[in-house]
Structure 1
């Protein structure tokens, strides 16, 4: 029996291009399967479902049918509330649809083997891609990192060398773009798209945000 990770693709969009399917089919550690193989014993199984074509209700139903499968949701754009609904329905991790095919395959492998999503053989999908898919600017993503670490507006302003008013403006933009004003929702969103919180020892935010996606259950 093959030890390759089984991959079930659901609602693969036509605009994804042939490169993704070709990359997946030529990755020896991965093997595409049909839904009838989901509950069969053997190698781990990851379901790659594309949103919004595959909605939270469908994810919940899939979780009932295949409780041991790992569910990876690829999204074009999503706000904090929508991602929260997918998480509650049983999604294990998220990836941007615009990520490179090789990066998506690496994420699938890491998820299947319970590895941090930034420790695959190739570089995991950049959190910046997920942030951009939400319409966030690099500076807004930086501010979100600080907020997820518990920094106040004043502390963020000092570390970014900007005014408190500027930080407040960025927070307003985050609220508008993510359609939530609750800090805990913003923190959850940062974790789910792989924006690592700023560490206390960081003098300034990283120009390139640390790679890694945080799973809902542990992503």
Structure 2
């Protein structure tokens, strides 16, 4: 190996592709294996942790949710320094609290292009927020977890501490429509607590609300919920 290539490999982010309960598809695997900024490794190559972060990629679908939670919990117990990125396949948001409790650090929807997966692996390794995806067409689901684009946008503002009336004004909706979206969010996520909404918005990689969009007092309330 040339000195230059060895230097690039040393600086690349290590990615552990976890083969169970489900393996990534061939396109995702090829994208990870050929990304210059990443270096795929096996479990036998894991050390006991160190300054260089290691991202473990775990694919989970609805039929193997129990196995996925068990695998994530085992990784977290055996190697607590790993950063665990879960690729969700046809799961709704009701599964996310279980995966978070098991030890997942972040989530991606299934079917993402390989370059987006790689970008989000790097973001997690560098402890940056995962890159939000462009807003999909109305009626499609957001990031494969059962939220429509409008529900995701409502979640984005609710997690920043906006009231129903403030969300309605910002999105040019009626308060009743916002209340309906909020009920749908509660049904799909099994929670309505601000702390949980903040965590869910982060896990989905929703773009943060900018200071200029914030109503008075919302930033303080959202920050307090994030710390709780």
TM normalised by structure 2 equals 0.73
TM alignment of 1:26-37, pairs within 5 A: 26-37=34-45
Q: 2:58 aligns with which of 49, 61, 81?
A: 49
Match of 2:122 in 1: 109
Tell me which moved more, 101-110 or 85-94. Answer: 85-94
TM alignment of 1:1-219, pairs within 5 A: 2-3=9-10, 4-11=12-19, 13=22, 16-39=24-47, 43-52=52-61, 53=64, 54-114=67-127, 116-117=128-129, 124=131, 126=133, 128=135, 131-202=142-213
142 and 110 in structure 1: CA distance in 2 versus 1, 3 angstrom threshold:
closer
125 and 17 in structure 1: CA distance in 2 versus 1, 3 angstrom threshold:
farther
Report if the CA contact (8 A) 1:81-1:185 is conserved: no
Structure with the higher helix share, 1 or 2: 2
Report if the CA contact (8 A) 1:148-1:186 is conserved: yes
Tell me which moved more, 181-190 or 46-55. Answer: 181-190
Structure 2: any 5+ residue segments left out of the alignment? Answer: 1-5, 215-225
Matched residue count: 198
Q: 2: distance between equivalents of 1:82 and 1:25? A: 29
List, as ranges, runs of 4+ consecutive aligned residues in structure 1 with deviation greater than 6 Å: none
> Alpha carbon RMSD of aligned pairs, Å?
2.9
Q: 2: distance between equivalents of 1:132 and 1:72? A: 14
59 and 127 in structure 1: CA distance in 2 versus 1, 3 angstrom threshold:
farther
Structure 1: any 5+ residue segments left out of the alignment? Answer: 119-123, 204-216
